[in-house]
Structure 1
Amino acid sequence: MEEPRPNDPTDANEKAASASPVVEKRDEDHGDEELGDKENALAPQRSAEPEYPGPASVAVIMACILSAIFLMSLDRTIIATAIPRITDEFNSLDDVGWYGSAFMLTTSCFQLLWGRIYTFYPVKYVFLVVLAIFEVGSAISGAAPNSLSFIIGRAVAGVGSAGIITGAMMLMMPTVPLAKRPLYNGFFSAVLGTSSVVGPLIGGAFTSNVTWRWCFFINLPIGGVAMLTILFALKPAPPMTPGLTIRQQLGKLDLLGELFLFPCLICLLLALQWGGSTYAWSSWRIILLFVLFGVCLVAFIVTQILRPETATIQSSVITNRSVISAMWFMFSLSSTMLLITYYLPIWFQATKGKSPVTSGIDTLPLVISLTLASTLSGQLVGRFGYYTPFTMLSSCVLAVGAGLISTFKVDTSTGMWIGYQIILGSGIGLGLQHAPIAIQTVLQRKDIPMGIALVFFCQQLGGAIFVSVGQNVFNNKLIHGLATIANDVDPTTIIGAGATGFRTIVPTADLHKVLVVYNNALSWTFIVGVIMASLSALGSFTLEWKSVKDDDGPPSED
């Protein structure tokens, strides 16, 4: 029902009616007519949607946003095949762990902070700032004269990367109506998944044919064009929370909470990365990292409870059922996706004897199926409105695909590994883009930046945690398996030779045994992905059944 409005004309009509019965009917009719005219005039204003750019402008803007997402996602994996050449040039084998973790650590730490910043400042200009930071980090990495400079560049790029995906989602809001966003989110997810998988392939091509530095220099021209286009083609939208002074904005950034959140995440990720590999799990260093993680986590939670008006994670967001479900769904799905896409090329290299570049090509069935499923599910959600059925289907297909891949053997046929990848890619693509759509559907407009930041924070954290978990499972199973075979096989030497180099040092009589051990270790690693894929159902099956095509519009449009 429409709320009664002050100074309603019917009040005047009632007063006039008490003074003159003759005038009563005429004034009543006139008042009703006037009221009806006002209601008719206001109705379109209440139901009218914001003015969106035309198709040509939308195409240009979305192309730039997709380019930024592509570069951000590519940067996470392109380094994989370049690391050996980088360590050779810098003589820095001891620093190799920091080449990936520096980017991952800063991305995780700054994800939620950027979500808060997007709330108080115009999205367009904040997005340009994060892109600029990402570009600076890429330039430092590409031009690095030594290992330390390279690590600093990776860390700076991670700071910018943390704000790109949230900003991309925020830029889409004033560009595309909610009912059409699932289709574009499908494009986002297709680009995100594709670039993550083909990153090692592109990195290998640059490293082999040009130089590893172009793995980072490639970001500069593409990112620069995207920045210039967004600067001139996109109109700046007002902040989500306008009218605050600079002092009030800084106060609401929750810098105290971030002071505890940063070391909390750093301690957790370092413990997971070093535990079982660099140091034993029982090492005092690992135990201390976990203790500090727990202390900082408790301190962060306390600051959120005691300072609700400036909390990074607002209670109106974190207590929403769909937000919690979307966070868990993305955490589980990302854990499965990144774990399997990280170790699948290793399976091709170790058991099939493929080169790093060829192993990347062999993952194309996963890439293609992910892209097609993302685009198709986005179109279907845009047509029918409901995204929950697709997340439920995603969890089921994802678990089946991951389970099938965990059954890989040394002699698995080409048809089987292609088919299993198609099932897995379809499962990922069916659900990857719908968590952000759920956030935009159920939250008020001012809460959307933090809701989206939380979802992608969980995506980032899930991948970071379970790639480390997978590494520990793989190393432990491989060491244990190699120790049980022929005495001529030295586990340390084989592991140090890498996924392809061990074939040159293992005696021919023992090669098949080593291949079986490698395969079994990878199968156990894939089982971790199966578990997380199954657990994703806890999020997908508890999402509220909301439609992006509701006539009244989502709370976010209020």
Structure 2
Amino acid sequence: MATELTRSTSTSVTNLGDDKEKGYLDSPALVTPALDPEKGSLNTSDPEADPNTPVRPYGKFKWFLICIAVYSTAFLYGLDNTIVADIQASAVETFGSVEKLGWLGIGFPLGSIATILSIGKAYGTFDVKWIYIVSIIMFEGGSTLCGAAPNMNALIIGRVWAGAGGAGMYLGVLNLLAINTSLRERPMYMAICGLTWGLGCILGPVIGGSFADSSATWRWAFYINLVLFAIFIPVYFFVLGSYQPQPNVALKEKIKTMDWLGVILNAGLYISFVMIFTFGGTLWAWGSGRTIATIVIFAVILIAFCITQAYSICTTPEWRLFPGDFLRSRTLVLNYVAISAQATGLFVPVYYIPLYFSFVHGDTGLEAAVRLLPFICFVIFGALLNGQFLPKWGYYWPWYVVSGVCILLGGSLMYAAVDVNTPNAHIYGFSIILGLGAGISQNTAYSVAPAKVPPHRVSDSIGFINAAQLGAIVIALTITSTVFQNVGFSNVQQALEGLYFSEGDIRAALAGAKSEVFTSISPEVREKVMEGIVEAIGNGYILVIVAGVISLICAALMKREKLFMEASAGG
């Protein structure tokens, strides 16, 4: 008896509706092709590969080593997304340049989003192993520059550089897992990846704060990456096998196919966006010529990018940077938007819960970061629930419903019910709700998207979803940083009216640095300053509330389909 894939609604996807009608997908797109154990490459000639059968050419021990090694890079990528959250004050004390502070948090995801689509295309074109290794080396090079930075500008450049390498590193993990796992087992592997990435994100402030408060100094928050990389070098080079997505195409032709114009415009798009909100209201007045010019430049680049991608200028529809044909898939678009909401619900609390405790309770970097533990535990709990039950239930939209409700509720409570006198237990309770919402849908899109495209588009689908996640992080952190800096500055300036503090003193106070503001004012004035800062922090949660609403809208519009196929015996 042969094993075949059933097509009934009870055991398989209830076909793909509008996606298939438009010729976007056909049924083989749902089947993970088998790996050729001799060549270590995909054998796409077997359209009836059992989705329950592992497809990797490695023995159990080698596969274990590879998993540990690649998951470690996912952890490091998550770690560096947030590790500066509690070292910013120390960096300002070392270098000054408080007006550039916002770039420390935004620089890393900016480097990632500026390159993520081009690196995603590279994974679909060149040898996956070597793109992954080069990305790791870039990440480590940027980390080295951050650790050894002689000034704030070098630190910012290192953050952007590391972000670009980190994006390729994380995309490599996702591609390696998609290539080497069956459709049935993939959600659990993706869940573990999301878990390690999320754990890194959430532990970033804890580890960064620990180094900042120790004799090792904040520089070791970046040097630690080199140590972990060194441990797994043999696995990356000698155990991990090569995989060529286009084995019959010459290297020269592969280079020619890259959408270089799209690469440049995509990078310029995000850089100009961040410049508007990072410089606007701090270095530049909102109505100044430089701010207006930057907004115009952003608009021109955005229009140019859309036109070049829509009409495949200097490229072809197949090789354009942005996979515009994905926009015809309702499922992919809704998952794109929903994971953007999830990323917002994850990253705003990661940065602003420790910030609250640092200001209101005077916590050290480590103490403030430890306050995130309730949030951490429930992000992990939610991610594990998702990885365990998503492949069994098959329905993916309910996860976004639960996520949206929790993010909306938690964000609303953090916005409306938190002030300088709020009991810690209440804040822990609110963060638990937020953590569950951020974790329970964290990996869903990474499991859904590869199953909705043909095998040769898996890398594009992962890049598409990762671009949504990273783009949301950049946008969320940029907007909340701008809100905090501008609203916080206005509130603190009003509270200190008549006390003749300079603008630099106020900016330094908002950075959490040891500022004259906090050491020379009366308790009554200090109370007013704290109230102004807490209000500015709370305003950032408006974005989280919006994210919760968007998640619920996306869930309501998703198809009620059972995505993951099951195998049954047939004659």
Structure-2-length-normalised TM-score: 0.83
**What amino acid is the match of 1:225?**
I
Cross-structure match for 1:358? 367
Q: CA RMSD in A?
A: 2.6
Distance 2:530 2:48 in 1: 67
**What amino acid is the match of 2:533?**
Y
Distance 1:100 1:341 in 2: 12
Distance 1:374 1:250 in 2: 38
The correspondence for 1:243, drawn from 231, 248, 257, is 248
Distance 2:72 2:174 in 1: 13
Distance 1:80 1:424 in 2: 18
Match runs of 1:303-382 below 5 Å:
303-307=308-312, 308-382=317-391
Residues 133 and 160 in structure 1, CA contact (< 8 A), matched pair in contact too: yes
Distance 2:341 2:465 in 1: 11
1:157 aligns with 2:126: no
Alpha-carbon shift at residue 283 of structure 1 (Å): 1.6
Alpha-carbon shift at residue 404 of structure 1 (Å): 1.7
Cross-structure match for 1:226? 232
**What amino acid is the match of 1:441?**
A
What is the total number of aligned residue pairs between the two structures? 511
Residues 146 and 222 in structure 2, CA contact (< 8 A), matched pair in contact too: yes
What do residues 475-509 of structure 1 show as CA deviations (whole Å, max 9, x unaligned)? 34334444555745567444532447544233123
DSSP 3-state at the match of 2:273: helix
Residues 254 and 311 in structure 1, CA contact (< 8 A), matched pair in contact too: yes
Distance 1:148 1:423 in 2: 38
Match runs of 1:440-459 below 5 Å:
440-459=450-469
Consecutive unaligned residues of structure 1, counting only runs of 5 or more, are 3-42, 554-558
Consecutive unaligned residues of structure 2, counting only runs of 5 or more, are 5-44
Residues 262 and 305 in structure 2, CA contact (< 8 A), matched pair in contact too: yes
Alpha-carbon shift at residue 525 of structure 1 (Å): 1.9
What do residues 344-403 of structure 1 show as CA deviations (whole Å, max 9, x unaligned)? 111112223322221100111000110111012210113222322212221112211111
Give the direction of change, closer, same or farther, for the CA distance of 1:130–1:378 in structure 2 (3 Å limit): same
Give the direction of change, closer, same or farther, for the CA distance of 1:480–1:123 in structure 2 (3 Å limit): same
Give the direction of change, closer, same or farther, for the CA distance of 1:515–1:213 in structure 2 (3 Å limit): closer
1:504 aligns with 2:519: yes
Distance 1:130 1:467 in 2: 24
Cross-structure match for 2:221? 215
Give the direction of change, closer, same or farther, for the CA distance of 1:325–1:516 in structure 2 (3 Å limit): same
Match runs of 1:149-548 below 5 Å:
149-209=154-214, 210-239=216-245, 241-307=246-312, 308-406=317-415, 407-482=417-492, 485=495, 487-488=497-498, 492=503, 493-498=505-510, 499=512, 501=515, 502-548=517-563
Alpha-carbon shift at residue 92 of structure 1 (Å): 4.9
Give the direction of change, closer, same or farther, for the CA distance of 1:419–1:520 in structure 2 (3 Å limit): same
What do residues 512-546 of structure 1 show as CA deviations (whole Å, max 9, x unaligned)? 33333222222222122212222222333333444
Distance 1:223 1:129 in 2: 13
Alpha-carbon shift at residue 101 of structure 1 (Å): 4.2
Residues 317 and 447 in structure 1, CA contact (< 8 A), matched pair in contact too: no
Q: Once the two structures are aligned, what percentage of the paired residues are identical?
A: 26
Residues 282 and 486 in structure 2, CA contact (< 8 A), matched pair in contact too: no
Give the direction of change, closer, same or farther, for the CA distance of 1:191–1:271 in structure 2 (3 Å limit): same
Give the direction of change, closer, same or farther, for the CA distance of 1:205–1:495 in structure 2 (3 Å limit): same
Cross-structure match for 2:111? 106
DSSP 3-state at the match of 1:174: helix
Alpha-carbon shift at residue 235 of structure 1 (Å): 2.6
Residues 441 and 546 in structure 1, CA contact (< 8 A), matched pair in contact too: no
Distance 1:346 1:196 in 2: 15
The correspondence for 1:58, drawn from 51, 54, 63, is 63
Give the direction of change, closer, same or farther, for the CA distance of 1:147–1:427 in structure 2 (3 Å limit): closer
Alpha-carbon shift at residue 44 of structure 1 (Å): 9.0
Alpha-carbon shift at residue 278 of structure 1 (Å): 1.9
Distance 2:318 2:169 in 1: 26
What do residues 402-431 of structure 1 show as CA deviations (whole Å, max 9, x unaligned)? 112222122222221111111110011100
**What amino acid is the match of 1:453?**
G
Distance 1:432 1:253 in 2: 30
The structure with more helix, counted as a fraction of residues: 1
Distance 2:565 2:167 in 1: 32
Alpha-carbon shift at residue 340 of structure 1 (Å): 2.3
Residues 356 and 534 in structure 2, CA contact (< 8 A), matched pair in contact too: yes
Give the direction of change, closer, same or farther, for the CA distance of 1:80–1:243 in structure 2 (3 Å limit): same
What do residues 180-213 of structure 1 show as CA deviations (whole Å, max 9, x unaligned)? 2222222222222222222122112112221222
Distance 1:422 1:162 in 2: 28
Residues 102 and 481 in structure 2, CA contact (< 8 A), matched pair in contact too: no
